């Protein structure tokens, strides 16, 4: 079994109902097709962002909800923002209407959507998010991925 090099520590997680409620109440919300993100910034404090992950019961059975939560955690781990500040983020897996039972979104799709949400929220700069979104699962990127990341960097989100 391979050794894990980057992991999220327990202190970097949101666990209690009160912690989630605070982010929902005071934070901002952004949505994509598969992910809804609530975030609350603390720009004056340096440190890691704390992450909470949830999936609605509308997503399906416990097996599907847990799979979505694992996808979201891994996408967060690969897109984790550099400590420009501190804060809390809650990621919620969204149900997909008209999809057959057992069909889940691909990891690359979830990771790309999360990169876009992080960029829109201003938690990462656009070039960092573009580079991370274009990377393949094993950390290498193809020429097509690099060229699309360069195009996004040139547009700076205005195209």
Taking the CA of residue 31 as centre, how many other CA atoms within 13 Å lie in the half-sphere pointing to its CB?
4
Is residue 1 included in any domain, yes or no?
A: no
Which residues of the chain carry a pLDDT beneath 50? 1-4, 129, 136-159
Please identify which residue in the block is written with the tokens 């598969």: 34
Q: How many domains does the chain have?
A: 1
Q: What is the pLDDT of residue 101?
A: 67
pLDDT tens-place string over residues 58-98:
888 899 899 999 999 999 988 876 656 688 999 999 887 77
Q: What is the pLDDT of residue 82?
A: 67
Is residue 4 included in any domain, yes or no?
A: no
Please identify which residue in the block is written with the tokens 């967060």: 76
- Classified as helix, coil or strand, 36 is strand
Q: What is the pLDDT of residue 140?
A: 41
Is residue 6 included in any domain, yes or no?
A: no
Domain that holds residue 124: 12-155
pTM for the model stands at 0.72
Between the alpha carbon of residue 115 and those of residues 13, 28, 98, 99, 108, the distances in Å are 19, 16, 25, 24, 10
Q: What is the pLDDT of residue 122?
A: 87
Residue 90, number of CB atoms within 10 A of its CB: 23
Is residue 120 included in any domain, yes or no?
A: yes
CATH number, domain of 54, equals 3.30.230.10
């Amino acid at each position: 079994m391979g050794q894990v090099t980057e992991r999220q520590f327990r202190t970097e997680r949101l666990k209690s109902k009160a912690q989630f409620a605070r982010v929902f109440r005071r934070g901002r919300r952004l949505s994509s097709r598969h992910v809804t993100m609530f975030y609350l910034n603390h720009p004056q404090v340096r440190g890691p962002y704390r992450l909470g992950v949830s999936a609605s019961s509308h997503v399906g059975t416990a097996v599907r909800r847990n799979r979505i939560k694992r996808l979201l955690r891994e996408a967060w781990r690969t897109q984790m923002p550099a400590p420009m500040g501190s804060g809390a983020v809650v990621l919620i897996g969204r149900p997909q209407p008209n999809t057959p039972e057992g069909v889940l979104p691909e990891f690359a799709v979830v990771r790309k959507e999360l990169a876009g949400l992080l960029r829109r929220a201003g938690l990462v700069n656009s070039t960092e998010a573009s580079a991370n979104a274009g990377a393949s699962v094993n950390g290498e990127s193809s020429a097509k991925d690099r060229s699309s990341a360069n195009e996004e960097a040139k547009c700076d989100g205005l195209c």
